Amino acid sequence: MRNEAFLNTALACLPTPKQTLVPAVRCLRFEKTEDGIRAGETERKPLKKGDRLCFDFGGHQVGYLSLKLGAVGSHPDAPAWIRLQFAEQPIELFERAEDYRGWISTGWIQTEQLHVDLLPCTLRLPRRYAFRYVQLEVLDVSSKYALTVEEAVCTAVSSAEDAGLTPLGSGDALLDRMDAVACRTLHNCMQRVFEDGPKRDRRLWLGDLRLQALASCETYRNPDMVKGCLYLFAALPREDGLLSAAIFLEPEPEADDTYLPDYSMLFVPALLDYYEAGGDLQTLRELWPTALRQLELANAHLKDGVFPDCDRLGWCFIDWSLELNKQAALMGVYLYCLQAGERIAALLADPVRSVLEARWEAGAEAARARFWDETAGCFVSGETRQISWASQIWMVLGGVLPKEEADALMKKMEQTEAVGIVTPYLYHHYVQALLDLGEREKALQVLRRYWGGMVERGADTFWELYDPENPEASPYGGTIVNSYCHAWSCGPAYFLRKYGPDCFFSKDMLS
Amino acid sequence: MRNEAFLNTALACLPTPKQTLVPAVRCLRFEKTEDGIRAGETERKPLKKGDRLCFDFGGHQVGYLSLKLGAVGSHPDAPAWIRLQFAEQPIELFERAEDYRGWISTGWIQTEQLHVDLLPCTLRLPRRYAFRYVQLEVLDVSSKYALTVEEAVCTAVSSAEDAGLTPLGSGDALLDRMDAVACRTLHNCMQRVFEDGPKRDRRLWLGDLRLQALASCETYRNPDMVKGCLYLFAALPREDGLLSAAIFLEPEPEADDTYLPDYSMLFVPALLDYYEAGGDLQTLRELWPTALRQLELANAHLKDGVFPDCDRLGWCFIDWSLELNKQAALMGVYLYCLQAGERIAALLADPVRSVLEARWEAGAEAARARFWDETAGCFVSGETRQISWASQIWMVLGGVLPKEEADALMKKMEQTEAVGIVTPYLYHHYVQALLDLGEREKALQVLRRYWGGMVERGADTFWELYDPENPEASPYGGTIVNSYCHAWSCGPAYFLRKYGPDCFFSKDMLS
């Protein structure tokens, strides 16, 4: 299924990323010690077999590398054979693609082995990389010459324009830094579409898009890009109208065959957010049938008023956790999206509004009846009656509990043993739930502790995954496949700017 | 030093290689057994992580590879990461660049690791390779798709045109095959210049050029290319006029800083050969001062009438042997080149002729006095009085002995313990010496045994190095750095065509 009109609208709205030349600022030498990784500045010396040189581009870049290479000694009489390793974080330089044994495709690892037949030359790598550091290792030259690197330049690309971005200026150093890091994260994920991460998967994901769109409204403001992305999803539904979780742009726009029910439904609030930011009624009207279709399809899956235990419905995202039971959380997402649907129906004076209202009423009641555990004092999920943060967060966002009860639940959870939060994505929804409940101080505390933790660990951009208890671990079995610039973690820019010092956080909450 | 006029002449004479599309003819699977490497044909199946596919291009090619790649399964959601290994001989596929520990630069090893970001695509590799086989190994794809190879095509390049080449047609299957293999060897080394080997070093070497020029006269006939190469050397002498052993063409024509006295002197017979083939008197006249200068510089090195022991003169080629003492052989080269100089001087009526004649007389006498060992009955070399084939061959070529004595010497050597011949380059001079002595049968026997041995071992092109006693050994510590198409071994095409059935070998010598 392919709606050509929607596709044309989409493609016309998508921006062309702009280029900026960013030269490397220095050369570093990293050492792994018991206390972690230490960096020291080094000189650029001619390189023989086995020698390494690591360039620091001063901050996280997304773009194309070019190296001006030369030789000292005799005329090079054999090709220079080099390995390049691109790293968003220094820790990646201490791992090798060959040693990675996890399930993520090693095709994502940003390493190249190249032959340079002719020196001097300017080596322009054709692929785009996400990195702050580039390590060049000479696999071999000949005994008659040594390789020199005269210049290392990144042609950085993004469709976000920094010129129009004013700093947060909260006066709180950590918050200002968190905002800047979040903006850079978003900036580097804004390419032709909003990519989840410029290192991996470089793809437009629906749930991720929603958070990026929110942050971009408060920062780089590119409503056309959001519109284009919404139309892309709407242009490429499954035969039954279900939206894919992700879209490939090349060689032709095509829907991923991954379908995540929560992601599909989040198209509804994403559309509402877009309308509310700019008042584009035509788009709201044109995409509303697509949005409504997601709610209809979800409704058809209900059994006795709730979703069956998630395994039976197909995989569902919620959070990057294999142990998490997602039944209750998905119900919360559904209720949350029904509310957004009601609001759109109201704006368009669509009589379906009353149907959606009735469904929300019935759904909320069924959710309380099925998932609330009186003894535990919280929501449980699945046959094992699992207690998780995910269930509570989405039930609160879905409006299942009155404000006071929801507030009490969130406080109670801090003392309850529960399946925790793995990603900045779910953390984002946690902070949103706290803010919706008016828990400004708690929300700020979570922001400081979680995103601030990444900043303290040297983040230039926010990460796909961060476990404060074990910051160097990779759930993928190797940090070289981690994405250290992942837009679903750009929340701080959204929260600090939308609910910022002047309108939400009180001045005395700033340190 | 750079003679711009000579350089312009050279560049105007050099050809532009022509392109031919050569598709892979089949897929093979090689297995290493106790009896050697066995090949079996296989199907092209979609490839997952770890899978391999080996394409056979039906014969040795020099050119650019393009692969038409596709995917089956879901839309590729991660780059395909592949390794390509190019092999002139199957044995190379059983070695890894990472494991090579020899002194040759591993930059020469024809292996690439590549990421393919977009499928389907036509992957065009920018580098030129020398190969018959290309093995593609999938380092990784994702679990959602498999890689397919729809087409594998080599854009072969050469400045030799097969259209004008008539087969040898001796009626002797082995000789016909040896000729064809030799022609293919030369063909694949004829690029913009005569390269020593298209895999390694891809460079114009003076001693190699001479043998290529001789063979090309009998086969592909491109006198302008020979002329261009002679002018290239002459355009880029050292300050004292000495010619380099090799020339780099890019980025700018430049002399290698390797100087080999035998190679420099061989410019003289190379120039004479060129003149004799086509009668280009202007070139002979213009390049004669350069040629003469090589003889003058050599003459200046004589001490008590002979060259000092070779180590003191700097490295000298003669043969790829570290144990070989080259003092006597170099003297033979000098005498041989003096004779060529005499002939050129005679052609140009240059009075220096008598000087050269006198030098040859004195040199031959000094050589006999210094290097002939009456007890051993052969020439010896160096302080250790080493007996080698190289010394005898070059003394014979230099005309030091009367024909009968030379003939007896060559026969005697077959029963004498001596440092042997390592390369087809020195074997070429051995065959030439035999033919000069009228030893046609013996010459043919050497051709059959030595070059025929390579043919029997599956050579598509003749090798840089071949030891009949140990055909799989590499003096470099790994066959992956061996050059299996090396033009200094194209001699059979020259010998069989120049001294072929009708004019030299008698009919009854053919099997």
Write the DSSP string, A336-360. Answer: HHHHHHHHHHHHTT-THHHHHHHHH
- Number of Cβ within 10 Å of residue A497's Cβ equals 21
Cβ pair B218, B160 in contact under 8 A:
no
- Does the beta-carbon distance from A77 to B112 stay under 8 Å? no
Give A103's contacts in chain B (Cβ within 8 Å).
Answer: 143
Tens of pLDDT, residues B369-400: 999 999 999 999 999 999 999 999 999 999 99
Q: Does B230 touch chain A (CB under 8 A)?
A: no
Give B75's contacts in chain A (Cβ within 8 Å).
Answer: 248, 254, 256-257
User: A423 Cβ partners below 8 Å, 6+ apart?
Assistant: A319, A320, A464, A465, A488, A489
Rounded to whole angstroms, how far apart are CA atoms A366 and A354?
Answer: 18
Question: Does residue B313 register a pLDDT over 60?
Answer: no
Cβ pair A235, A244 in contact under 8 A:
no
- Does the beta-carbon distance from A140 to B201 stay under 8 Å? no
The residues facing B145 across adjacent strands are: B73
pLDDT value for A477 = 85
Write the DSSP string, B169-218. Answer: --S-HHHHHHHHHHHHHHHHHBSSSB-S-TTTT-SEEHHHHHHHHHHHHH
Tens of pLDDT, residues A356-396: 999 999 999 999 999 999 999 999 999 999 999 999 999 99
The residues facing B306 across adjacent strands are: B303
Tokens of B354: 């008598």
Question: Does residue B503 register a pLDDT over 80?
Answer: no
Tokens of A382: 């699945």
Question: Does residue A509 register a pLDDT over 70?
Answer: no
* Nearest-CB residue to A105 (from B103, B127, B141): B141
- Number of Cβ within 10 Å of residue B382's Cβ equals 17
- Does the beta-carbon distance from B81 to A106 stay under 8 Å? yes
- Number of Cβ within 10 Å of residue B9's Cβ equals 20
* Nearest-CB residue to A257 (from B74, B80, B121): B74
Question: Does residue B504 register a pLDDT over 80?
Answer: no
Mean pLDDT computed over every residue of chain A: 95
- CA triple B189-B193-B198, angle to 5 deg: 30
Give the 3-state secondary structure of residue B240.
Answer: coil
- Does the beta-carbon distance from B78 to A117 stay under 8 Å? no
Question: Does residue A168 register a pLDDT over 70?
Answer: yes
Of A163 and A509, the structure prediction assigns the larger pLDDT to A163
Cβ pair A113, A83 in contact under 8 A:
yes
- Residue of B65, B77, B112, B114 to mutate, testing the A interface (most A Cβ within 10 Å of its Cβ): B77
pTM above 0.90, yes or no: yes
Give the 3-state secondary structure of residue B105.
Answer: coil
Cβ pair B297, B359 in contact under 8 A:
no
Tokens of A349: 């004076």
> Which residue matches tokens 């991460």?
A197
pLDDT value for B511 = 55
Tens of pLDDT, residues B198-224: 999 999 999 999 999 999 999 999 999
Tens of pLDDT, residues A224-256: 999 999 999 999 999 999 999 999 999 999 999
Rounded to whole angstroms, how far apart are CA atoms A382 and A332?
Answer: 14
pLDDT value for A478 = 85
φ, ψ at B262 (rounded to 5°) = -65, -40
Rounded to whole angstroms, how far apart are CA atoms B114 and B83?
Answer: 6
- Does the beta-carbon distance from A107 to B141 stay under 8 Å? yes
> Which residue matches tokens 């002498």?
B237
Question: Does residue A506 register a pLDDT over 70?
Answer: no
DSSP strands (E only) in A180-255: 204-205, 246-248, 254-255
Rounded to whole angstroms, how far apart are CA atoms B381 and B388?
Answer: 8
Tokens of A395: 């039930």
Instruction: Give which of A161, A155, A132, A151 is closest to A61, Cα–Cα.
Output: A132
Q: Lowest mean pLDDT of A377-381, A409-413, B159-163, B466-470, name the range.
A: B466-470
Cβ pair B188, B130 in contact under 8 A:
yes
- Does the beta-carbon distance from A107 to B115 stay under 8 Å? yes
C-alpha distance from A110 to closest chain B C-alpha (Å): 9
Question: Does residue A150 register a pLDDT over 80?
Answer: yes
CA distances from B332 to B35, B50, B214, B337 (A): 43, 56, 20, 9
> Which residue matches tokens 């899978």?
B51
Q: Provide the CB-side half-sphere exposure for A293 (13 A, CA).
A: 16
- Does the beta-carbon distance from B251 to A140 stay under 8 Å? no
pLDDT value for A338 = 98
Rounded to whole angstroms, how far apart are CA atoms A382 and A391?
Answer: 10
C-alpha distance from A137 to closest chain B C-alpha (Å): 13
C-alpha distance from A29 to closest chain B C-alpha (Å): 24
pLDDT-derived band at A348 (thresholds 50, 70, 90) equals: very high
pLDDT value for A310 = 65
pLDDT value for A505 = 62
Question: Does residue B169 register a pLDDT over 80?
Answer: yes
Q: Provide the CB-side half-sphere exposure for A369 (13 A, CA).
A: 9
- Does the beta-carbon distance from B105 to A79 stay under 8 Å? yes
C-alpha distance from A256 to closest chain B C-alpha (Å): 7
Give B142's contacts in chain A (Cβ within 8 Å).
Answer: 105, 107
Give B108's contacts in chain A (Cβ within 8 Å).
Answer: 78-79
Rounded to whole angstroms, how far apart are CA atoms A129 and A107?
Answer: 13
ipTM: 0.96
Question: Does residue A511 register a pLDDT over 60?
Answer: no
B/e letters for B48-83, b = 16+ CB within 10 Å, e = fewer, are ebeebbbbbbeebbbbbbbbebbbebebbbbbbbbb
- Does the beta-carbon distance from A79 to B113 stay under 8 Å? no
Q: Does B101 touch chain A (CB under 8 A)?
A: no
Give A127's contacts in chain B (Cβ within 8 Å).
Answer: 115, 117
